[in-house]
Structure 1
């Protein structure tokens, strides 16, 4: 007799995307994301506006996720939600909604660490999906985080290195802002980098201990470099846009890869998985593909929709925790800082 399917409704509201997904066991049935456009005019995420938009979006997004999955809420086994890390106001919207729904349906509530979810997104089962075996190294690269994590099991993870200041996504977006690009500018740097010379303008790499990262010095050096060049030639950015973007991307990818290579050397583990918004960057994807060919690594690169914030990755963690009966109490609260 087949085991009864487990249906997880997952909610993600850590930053400026409201997302809901339904998973049946390890398979995604729906993954709906409402992106907040309002932040573009401010050049970055405004926390107060983000939490208000989550309040407006959460009911229609959940409704849509259930409709796309073609299931009734009475069939749900549990509600999984992002407890943290993230913006407190945004997290509170998702947390409160998840708690109320689980109470109303009298089904378990499952808290999820957003950063663990980026790593475990690799376990969503899809056609031709490549699933890592333990142990493996995960590099989580996003607008708010940069980490190298040793993953020994679903819930046994150890952070080997992290950023000491800015996250890699922030380095991309702030560099784009210096160049006058609209927010979010990271994808634009990636786009223009395809046509430029990556060695046109060498930028310094911060020297920090072992497997930790630092991007604030790089950001400052890019700012001073652009200011100096524009003073001498007001059209410098327009005339050298592609080369500047290629050089910035080349430097950042170089920093990430040199730390990863060091982590592989220290641990002897050659299975590498990436996650987070910056995992969508073509430069880092190509560098990992090259490492697979030249260094004998096995690399795991998620689908684009699982790189950015989405509820399907929350759902897979919800399913794995459901199997272990790792449920949360109704007293659970959102946590802006929530370590792996």
Structure 2
């Protein structure tokens, strides 16, 4: 079983009791803290979840500015953690461990949350779990339902787009990844070209409600290919260029709908391929969609139909746990603590940290810039 580079079973033992864990998330532009309780049979209860968004701080720049994000995390994290502990009606003596995102992400922000987590762990003599942010997304559906392993996962967000076989915490195999841009990046960049501001994904979805995407012939890369990879760079470039030709509000709405439909179509086609491969090996057929793009209703409905066609149950996290949050980090940490997997106090912040390091290193196409492999 792969514990990952920052984990060991030394100093910790598997436990069969309720575990209450404080989670910290600071990988991008949300400062978040949460307390989650995990029972021995895998039931998770969110006792608190506090998220401070930096949208207003970055809106003028049309995207996240790393230096501004890091400074905001420093200013906000103490208050956010205090609120999370108060809402959970606990003090630090009521915790069994601390989990903090250790990557991937904007390393300045990651360092803030990880350092705060280390301070709590040292001061209160608690085990520390340095959590992969992507692993948090992978288990996020378990925050809203009793989800059993294994399952097929589509992790789709602003920086990541991967299909994974999830057999358990720390035991995941990548089936496909983006060979260039992620779906969420395509949403955001096209939204920016349309003048929709930041964050772009939700704004583009709203604009698309009144659009007719059939007007535009947009690239839908890799459809029908035998692998499970994705590519959104061609769509992003073509749609961004078209955005500058739109003259009316209807033009912009039609393009927004066309982009949304094209992204949903590619996600569906690639997921369909993964489902067929997964079904050859597994009787239990559950398809989970997680990450920020999972909040898009068109994407959800398209993927839900694809799952039904292939005989898969469909599940997505509650909307509050699709985008970055600390509850998913607390849960991932609690599941690791349950197995006795704890981190050394000198665990490092990592700007890049592949969820499935073995697949990434073995991939012959692995090279700088291949986001699914190195992100």
TM-score (norm 2): 0.84
CA shift for structure 1 position 134: 2.7
1:287 equivalent among 291, 296, 302: 302
Conserved? CA contact 1:132–1:273, under 8 Å: no
1:250 aligns with 2:265: no
What is the match of residue 221 of structure 1?
A: 238
User: Which segments of 5 or more consecutive residues in structure 2 lack a partner in the other structure?
Assistant: 1-15, 39-43, 356-375
- For residue 310 of structure 1, give the secondary structure of its aligned residue in structure 2: coil
User: Closer, same or farther in 2 for the Cα pair 1:289/1:213, shift >3 Å?
Assistant: closer
User: Closer, same or farther in 2 for the Cα pair 1:4/1:213, shift >3 Å?
Assistant: closer
What is the match of residue 74 of structure 2?
A: 55
User: Closer, same or farther in 2 for the Cα pair 1:134/1:39, shift >3 Å?
Assistant: same
Conserved? CA contact 2:19–2:338, under 8 Å: no
What is the match of residue 240 of structure 1?
A: 251
Instruction: Please report the RMSD computed on the Cα atoms of aligned residues, expressed in angstroms.
Output: 1.5
Q: Take 1:96 and 1:152, find their aligned partners in 2: how far apart are those partners?
A: 30
What is the match of residue 39 of structure 1?
A: 58
Conserved? CA contact 1:141–1:277, under 8 Å: yes
- For residue 95 of structure 1, give the secondary structure of its aligned residue in structure 2: helix
1:263 aligns with 2:285: no
What is the match of residue 113 of structure 2?
A: 94
Q: Take 1:332 and 1:292, find their aligned partners in 2: how far apart are those partners?
A: 39
Q: Take 1:328 and 1:155, find their aligned partners in 2: how far apart are those partners?
A: 13
CA shift for structure 1 position 245: 1.2
What is the match of residue 228 of structure 2?
A: 211
Q: Take 1:155 and 1:166, find their aligned partners in 2: how far apart are those partners?
A: 25
- For residue 150 of structure 1, give the secondary structure of its aligned residue in structure 2: strand
Q: Take 2:80 and 2:265, find their aligned partners in 1: how far apart are those partners?
A: 38
User: Closer, same or farther in 2 for the Cα pair 1:141/1:291, shift >3 Å?
Assistant: same
Tell me which stretches of 4 or more aligned residues in structure 1 moved more than 3 Å: 292-295
Q: List per-residue Cα deviations over 1:129-182 (Å, max 9, x = no partner).
A: 2x3333211011111111111112222101111112211111001011111111
- For residue 199 of structure 1, give the secondary structure of its aligned residue in structure 2: helix
What is the match of residue 328 of structure 2?
A: 313
1:27 equivalent among 40, 45, 55: 45
CA shift for structure 1 position 207: 3.1
CA shift for structure 1 position 74: 1.5
Q: List per-residue Cα deviations over 1:184-227 (Å, max 9, x = no partner).
A: 11111111222222322120122386211111111111123334
Q: List per-residue Cα deviations over 1:290-317 (Å, max 9, x = no partner).
A: 2344442211111011000000000111
User: Which segments of 5 or more consecutive residues in structure 1 lack a partner in the other structure?
Assistant: none
Conserved? CA contact 1:11–1:94, under 8 Å: yes
Q: Take 1:297 and 1:4, find their aligned partners in 2: how far apart are those partners?
A: 32
Conserved? CA contact 1:132–1:300, under 8 Å: no
What is the match of residue 290 of structure 2?
A: 275
